[in-house]
Amino acid sequence: MREDEDNLGVVTALVRSAFLVNAVYAESAREYGLTPQQGQLLCVLMAQPYGMSALGPMLRLAKSSLTELVDRTAQRGLVRREADPADRRVVRVALTKRGSELAEEFYTATCRRIEELPATLDGAARDTLADLLSRVVRDNNVPMVFLERDEAPPVAGGR
């Protein structure tokens, strides 16, 4: 195989990269007894509690699917519903103590695994990859569902 045949087009590279990250994420979730969606929910809630109406678009779930996800995760004692102090009509979802501990473990292990994916790239190539992917994410208004350790939690009304 010639070297230039190893280079993928941008669509193929992005799709295969998404599959790769999703597979690593799903494997990590499985090892922690979570579904990938539960893992995403826990990671999102690490920053702060969110209202159900904010979580739906963040996780790209319909209202009924989000309700089922929160119900299943609450039954496991990982999240709880609570009234929003600013508006008692709004229901927020927050991590329980157990959920917070599991979220931290899952987040750390998953970050470690994903960090290993570009292990063959040198520092400059990793920086370039991060810069380019950051632009794609920013330009497409991808919600903050997975934060860097040094990022401040987003300011949100949680509604």
CB 133 within 8 Å of CB 116: no
Tell me which residue range forms the domain holding 103: 33-139
The answer to whether position 118 is within a domain reads: yes
Residue 24 maps to a domain = no
Residue 60 near residue 121 (C-beta atoms within 8 A): no
With beta carbons less than 8 A apart as the criterion, state whether 140 and 55 touch.
no
Spatial distance between the Cα atoms of 26 and 37, rounded to a whole number of angstroms: 9
Domain with 100 in it: what CATH number?
A: 1.10.10.10
* Token pair of 35 as six digits: 């579904």
Q: Are 44 and 55 in contact (CB under 8 A)?
A: yes
Whether residue 99 lies inside any domain: the answer is yes
Q: Is position 85 within any domain?
A: yes
Asked whether the whole model's pTM tops 0.85, one would answer: no
Q: Would you give per-residue pLDDT tens digits along the chain (159 residues)?
A: 444 567 889 999 999 999 999 999 999 999 999 999 999 999 999 989 999 999 998 898 999 999 999 999 999 999 999 998 888 888 999 999 999 999 999 999 999 999 999 999 999 999 999 999 999 988 988 777 666 655 544 433 333
pLDDT of residue 153: 43
**Residue 88, domain member (yes or no):** yes
**Cβ-count burial 30-50 (b if 16+ within 10 Å, e if not):** eeeebeebbbbbbbbbbbebb
In a domain, 112, yes or no: yes
User: Based on the structure, what is the number of domains in the chain?
Assistant: 1
Give residue 102's pLDDT: 97
